[in-house]
């Protein structure tokens, strides 16, 4: 496959045809406190043990704009990173919160399976993308709100890279939007704690002129 040459300055990327490209880094939070055998709570803190940030600190840019899910595990992860990465700006983004499993949070997985056993199954996930837990949210609904957030970014002009501190489900939803794949397929992605997705965004005023979409996935978690 032939690709145009790419120059890599400190901030944005400029391709041969002089189109600005913005680097986005979608980071999953550190490991959280949870009870074995139970579905984790919706807003748990990260664990008390040390977290290896070496790879992230070596890979993420300094002076970026930061977008953080307001849940405490993402805020705590951001606190661990930002002293060395020195954000240019920080914004809390409710659209980036993890999918809510409603009344099932903190409940024994064995009890939840009793309610799911007669429902359609998913090969790689706890439930199908369209299933809505009691008083919760489906992954399809999460994909819709994350896609809306991505579409807003596609209309922006950025000066510096963008870092997002978010969740596994959020990053899978981002990939569903970027690659235009169904939510059920996006649930097949695995995102480890402190793993990250790097993607490059071409502004819509430039990217809609040619084939290939606005997003280029540079590295998967």
* Range of the structural domain that residue 102 is part of: 15-219
With a cut of 80, say whether residue 14 has pLDDT above it.
no
With a cut of 80, say whether residue 8 has pLDDT above it.
no
Residue 7 covered by a domain: no
Question: DSSP assignment, residue 47?
Answer: P
Residue 1 covered by a domain: no
What is the per-residue pLDDT for 17? 52
| Rounded (10°) angle between helices 168-179 and 139-154 | 60
Residue-averaged pLDDT of the chain = 91
CATH of the domain at 116: 3.40.50.1240
For residues 30 and 47, the answer to whether their CB atoms sit within 8 Å is: yes
What is the per-residue pLDDT for 33? 95
Residue 24 covered by a domain: yes
Sign, Cα dihedral of 98, 109, 192, 171: negative
pLDDT in tens, 52-68: 999 999 999 999 999 99
Reported as a pLDDT band with limits 50, 70 and 90, residue 18 is: low
Mean per-residue pLDDT, 80-102 = 97
Q: Torsions phi, psi of 200, nearest 5?
A: -115, 135
What is the Cα–Cα distance from 84 to 11, expressed in whole angstroms? Answer: 17
What's the number of domains the chain is made of? 1
**Nearest residue to 164 via CA among 18, 155, 173, 50:** 173
With a cut of 60, say whether residue 160 has pLDDT above it.
yes
């Amino acid at each position: 496959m032939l690709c145009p040459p790419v120059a890599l300055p400190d901030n944005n990327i400029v391709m041969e045809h002089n189109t600005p490209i913005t680097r986005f880094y979608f980071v999953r939070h550190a490991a959280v406190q949870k009870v074995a055998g139970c579905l984790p709570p919706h807003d748990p803190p990260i664990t008390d043990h040390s977290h290896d940030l070496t790879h992230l600190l070596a890979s993420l840019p300094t002076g970026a704009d930061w977008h953080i899910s307001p849940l405490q595990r993402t805020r705590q992860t951001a606190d661990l990173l930002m002293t060395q990465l020195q954000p240019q700006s920080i914004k809390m983004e409710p659209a980036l919160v993890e999918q809510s499993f409603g009344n099932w949070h903190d409940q024994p997985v064995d009890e939840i399976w009793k309610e799911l056993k007669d429902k359609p199954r998913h090969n790689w996930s706890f439930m199908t993308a369209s299933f809505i837990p009691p008083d919760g949210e489906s992954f399809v609904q999460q994909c819709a709100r994350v896609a809306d957030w991505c579409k807003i970014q596609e209309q922006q002009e950025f000066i510096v890279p963008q870092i997002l501190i978010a969740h596994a489900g959020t990053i899978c939803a981002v990939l569903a939007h970027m690659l235009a794949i169904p939510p059920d397929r996006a649930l097949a992605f695995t995102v480890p704690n402190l793993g990250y997705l790097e993607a490059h965004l071409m502004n819509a005023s430039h990217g809609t002129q040619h084939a290939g979409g606005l997003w280029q996935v540079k590295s998967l978690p």
